[in-house]
Amino acid sequence: MSSPAQSKAQQNRDFRQEVTDSIVRMLEQGVAPWQKPWDGAGIPQNPTTGRAYRGGNALHLMATAIRREFDDPRWLTYRQAAAQGWQVRQGEKGTQIEFWQANPQAERGGDRTDDTAGAKEQPRLVRRVYTVFNAKQIGGIPAYAPRQHSAFETAQAGERILANSGATIVHDQADQAFYRPGTDSIHLPPRNAFKDAPGYYGTALHELAHWTGHQSRLNRSTLTDSYRFGDVNYAREELRAELASVFLAAERGIPHDPASHAAYVGSWIKALREDKNEIFRAAHDASAATDYLLTLEREKTRAQAIEASPDSIEPEQQRTELDDETRQLKEDEQAVGPGTEWESTRGTVRHEPGSETVLVHGKEPGEDRRTPVGIAPNSAAVPSRDDLQKSFAAAKALAAQALGENAKTRTALTASGNYRGEIIGETDLHVVQRLSPVSAVAHMKHLLDPQPGIGENVVVAYSNQKGTVRDAHRRTKGRGMGR
């Protein structure tokens, strides 16, 4: 049992500064997680909850695993291990992670003399630091059996993420790769210019991570406010894209082959030394980009399965399959992370489905915290699946007529999702919004409030299966984000 002096010293430790200092040392030695090849061993995860660690915690545990040569992605607390009949080996040193949660009891007691006296008390948000141990430090835990991915599966996973994103990807470069915000397009060399598949997909996913930051998607300030190569935001955005490509590689078993990063290391070290919260903000943004792309992948796969459902299937079987798909989608949404409810210059609030809480992320301090909230269920009448299928087919035809036959049209992500562009048409049950010169999104009318009109330039922001529509203000950036 720890002494009072030890407990006080533990409380006075600056967790974020320690993590930042550790990452800086690894950067100086060329061994930070995004500087080393990643074989897709898996994102850090808790084997007792089935949840993956996210943001700064995920990056910190990945870095710790590299330093301590752990090849097992499983991490859990002493109590969680003991509850399973496993035992942390004597003398093993744990690794700290942080978690924010609501503490309704913390605000109670004492006299209230301000104007808020008598109002409904808000729970105090408390930061908790937990100690976790890697599976390699625990006796009795079953051996980790990572899934072995064949070269074909690796290529298929990469292709699925790229294709289901709906991004415009053009192979028109000789020896450079970049994302151009002005045209919302990714430009790459031909596939045969890369030495192997990991080289190609690592580069493509890096640029796809930049693509998620567009104003019509995650509206990431490090992308939207970047003007030229070499400025501060440019380096910060490159860090987020590289972290996202590592997280994607770990999630989908795609080997991560780090590109040339020498031009950014000095800027990254400087930024991290000046602000201990920057690495946590970067990791948070990278996790959000990863979640966005994986949710797109799942939504597109689900939509394709429903659209391709043969008429010969019995109605009862169709209902069963749709129920299975819906349940799997909800599980996937919870596994990859919540969706953005709203965003401001100060932070984002993301509803966590099924938990009656929201995750609040403050951009300036770079902190995550959770607080309970009541979410009203969506009471709008839902059209039948057959009617939605017919309407979506008409929406695709409408987009092809307006944008060209090669135009890509996808359904909106109604759990999260943020879309900006002009409304170019409508069908019985959908409104069609142009996202880029060659891509569009179909929104279900019954989820939108208010209904946008054809020709209006709007932003549609989804949360908890409802879309809020507001006027958009155009902003343009002409420079590309490159490797």
Q: What is the pLDDT of residue 346?
A: 43
pLDDT band at 375, cuts 50/70/90? very low
Nearest 5 degrees, angle CA 130-CA 135-CA 137? Answer: 85
Q: What is the pLDDT of residue 250?
A: 80
Check pLDDT > 90 for residue 476: no
Q: What is the pLDDT of residue 321?
A: 45
Alpha carbon separation from 79 to 45, 73, 82 (Å, rounded): 16, 18, 5
Mean pLDDT in residue range 101-108: 55
Query: Going by DSSP bridges, is the β-strand pair 138-139/408-411 parallel, antiparallel, or unpaired?
Result: unpaired
- The arrangement of strands across the sheet holding 185-188 comes to 168-171, 185-188, 178-180, 481-482
Q: Domains of the chain, with CATH numbers? A: 4-107+121-139 (no CATH), 385-482 (2.40.50.140)
pLDDT digits over 190-208, tens only? 999 988 887 888 889 999 9
pLDDT digits over 56-84, tens only? 999 999 999 989 999 899 999 999 999 99
Least confident range of 148-157, 245-254, 328-337: 328-337
Burial class of residue 229, CB neighbours in 10 A (0-12, 13-18, 19+): middle
Q: Tokens standing for 60? A: 């910190």
Report phi then psi at 212, rounded to 5.
-65, -20
SS3 category, 306: helix
CB-CB contact of 463 with 416 (8 Å): yes
Least confident range of 183-192, 196-205, 370-379, 445-454: 370-379
Least confident range of 332-336, 370-374, 425-429, 436-440: 332-336
Higher pLDDT, 325 or 48: 48
Instruction: Determine the Cα–Cα distance for residues 316 and 327; give it in Å rounded to an integer.
Output: 17
Check pLDDT > 80 for residue 260: no
Mean pLDDT in residue range 277-287: 92
Check pLDDT > 50 for residue 325: no
Mean pLDDT in residue range 111-116: 41
Check pLDDT > 80 for residue 377: no
Higher pLDDT, 430 or 260: 430
pLDDT band at 31, cuts 50/70/90? confident
Check pLDDT > 60 for residue 360: no
Nearest 5 degrees, angle CA 328-CA 446-CA 431? Answer: 100
CB-CB contact of 374 with 358 (8 Å): no
Averaged pLDDT score across all residues of the chain: 76
pLDDT band at 477, cuts 50/70/90? very low
Check pLDDT > 70 for residue 381: no
Instruction: Determine the Cα–Cα distance for residues 469 and 449; give it in Å rounded to an integer.
Output: 6
Least confident range of 9-18, 329-338, 377-386, 416-425: 329-338
pTM flag (> 0.75): no
Mean pLDDT in residue range 369-383: 49
Mean pLDDT in residue range 345-368: 49
How many DSSP H helices and E strands does the chain contain?
12, 20
In eight-state DSSP terms, residue 74 is B
Mean pLDDT in residue range 451-479: 76
Q: What is the pLDDT of residue 438?
A: 82
The sign of the torsion formed by the CA atoms of 220, 222, 223, 225 equals: positive
